Each structure stands twice: as C-alpha cells, then as structure tokens.
Amino acid sequence: MKITGQNPQRAGELAGGKAAEVEPKAKARPSSPPEAAGKAQARPTLTLDKVKDAIRQEPDIRAERVADLKERVAGGKFTVDENRLAANLINASLREDLERP
C-alpha cells in the first residue's frame, strides 16, 4: 500500500477489498438514564396526540360561527381584545405544563 495522502483507504477497505475485522469500540455511556430519555420524547407525543384528538372531535366548519365572524368583519365590528387573547394563551400553556407527568 502506498501512502500518498490522496484518496485514503477506510478501515473496512484494507483487507483486499473485503471488510477487515476491526476491534470493537467501547460502548459509549448514555449521558442520561434511559428512562429519562423516554420521558423527554413522550411529552411532545402526548401533547400532539391531545391536539390531534381535539381536532378530530371538532366539526370541520362551524357554519354559524363563520357567518357571525364574516358579518362582524364586513361591518367593521370585529375587534380583538389583546389582553384577553394573551391571558388565554398563557393560561392554556400553563395548564398544559401542569398536566404533564
């Protein structure tokens, strides 16, 4: 084998085109216990499942609500209470956090 620095061979290519036996690497220790890793992944899935279930339970279109909103927008009477909206978003987020195991 000539060493030129160009196109270096990988460890698996050294034994005449066949993969050579390589010493097994030491097993890396996980940075956190396996049960902690499972919990971290379970939270987003549970939340996503709740959202999907809630969406499935709602009708596709609430015709009465849509008609009311269209009328209010067209008449210039549609307003958004920013404080109420912010409070509802924060409360929903807090409730969701409290529901997590």
Residue 11 within any structural domain of the chain: no
Structural domain range at position 46:
33-99
Structural domain includes residue 71: yes
- pLDDT tens digits, residue range 20-42? 455 555 555 555 555 555 455 55
Encode 76-86: b = buried (16+ Cβ within 10 Å), e = exposed.
eeeeeeeeeee
What predicted TM-score, i.e. pTM, was given to this entire model? 0.32
Residue 63 forms part of a structural domain: yes
Residue type, 42: A
Confirm whether 45 is domain-assigned: yes
DSSP 83: H
**Per-residue tens of pLDDT for the chain, all 101 residues:** 556 666 655 555 555 555 545 555 555 555 555 555 545 555 667 788 888 888 888 878 888 999 999 999 999 999 999 999 999 999 999 999 888 87
| Residue 37 belongs to some domain of the structure | yes
Query: Would 4 be classed as within a structural domain?
Result: no
Distances in Å between the Cα of 100 and the Cα atoms of 38, 44, 61, 86 are 14, 10, 30, 22
In a domain, 88, yes or no: yes
Instruction: Name the domain count of the chain.
Output: 1
Q: How far is CA 47 from the centre of its chain?
A: 10
* Residue 41 in domain: yes
